[in-house]
Amino acid sequence: MTAPGTALWQPASGCGDRCRPGDAPAAGAWTAGWRVVGVFGVLLIGLLPAALLRGAALRTLARSLLAVLGVTLVVRGPAPRPGSLLVANHISWLDILALVAVTPVRLVAKHDVRSWPALGATASRSGAIFIDRTRPRTLPMTVGEVAAALRAGRSVAAFPEGTTYCGAERGDFRPALFQAAIDAGAPVVPTSITYDTTEASFIGDDTLLASIRRIARVRRTTIAVITAPALRPMPGADRRALARAAQRSMAGHGYRLAA
């Protein structure tokens, strides 16, 4: 039985396989196969340097994985300054690669990622901040960790929707992590992530391997990462109002607000 308030802490997306019609132009079977092989090859070569060296090595790993999958990354908008909280909508695990490829950030990731083979260990060593949505009492500690990183001049990227959506649908931004920016006096950078195909969306009962295969079968995929001007919260600002303002500011930057 779900405890009261838990549904708000563990948001659920209504997206599923119906959101992926499978009508994207397809790559050839050989191309798709070599892309999957390429992903594992890049991981084999690049995970250790990325975990040990972080920084440029991690960005190189992210860009290489996108390239080998046939994904083109388009970046628009002002560059976030160090010590910013980037808040983005969430569609796919590719969002993580896109953000890491764009700017040096520590990621707020769900605690499940820690158990992913190889990738979980790399995420831990690269400074990921894990959030456990099954334990709401740990939230203040997570907010404190994000605030400490921001005060130290490290940018942090988070997905306040709390789960993935297909892109055509979206969820409301949860306000909790915005408190970290208020506490640290850090700018909030609303960041819109859009795809030219829904095949990349990581929704429903999807698995990482199934998602990699599906993306590899698409002839080409384009991800656009568009940053809006930073919001600068005043001391004592209301985190709920800040969350709403961040989500509204993404409209017109490829991100569709619900009616």
Instruction: Residue 119: name the closest of 56, 55, 40 by CA.
Output: 40
Q: 254 in the Ramachandran plot: left (φ > 0), alpha (ψ -120 to 50) or beta?
A: left
Residue 229 has a CB neighbour count (10 Å cut-off) of 11
- The model's pTM: 0.88
For 25-249, CATH number out of 2.60.40, 3.40.1130, 3.50.50, 3.40.1000 equals 3.40.1130
pLDDT of residue 15: 83
Question: Is residue 65 within a helix (H) or strand (E), and if so which, with residue range?
Answer: helix 55-68
Q: How far apart are CA 107 and CA 104, in angstroms?
A: 10
* Tens digit of pLDDT at every position of the chain (259 positions): 334 444 445 677 778 888 888 889 999 999 999 999 999 999 888 777 766 656 788 888 899 999 999 999 999 999 999 999 999 999 999 999 999 999 999 999 887 777 666 666 666 667 788 887 777 788 889 999 999 999 999 999 999 998 888 877 788 899 999 999 999 999 999 999 999 999 999 988 888 899 999 999 999 999 999 999 999 999 899 999 999 999 999 876 656 555 4
pLDDT of residue 200: 93
The pLDDT of residue 6 is 45
Domain range summary for the chain, segments of one domain joined by +: 25-249
Provide the pLDDT for residue 8. 47
Phi, then psi, of 101 in degrees rounded to 5: -70, -25
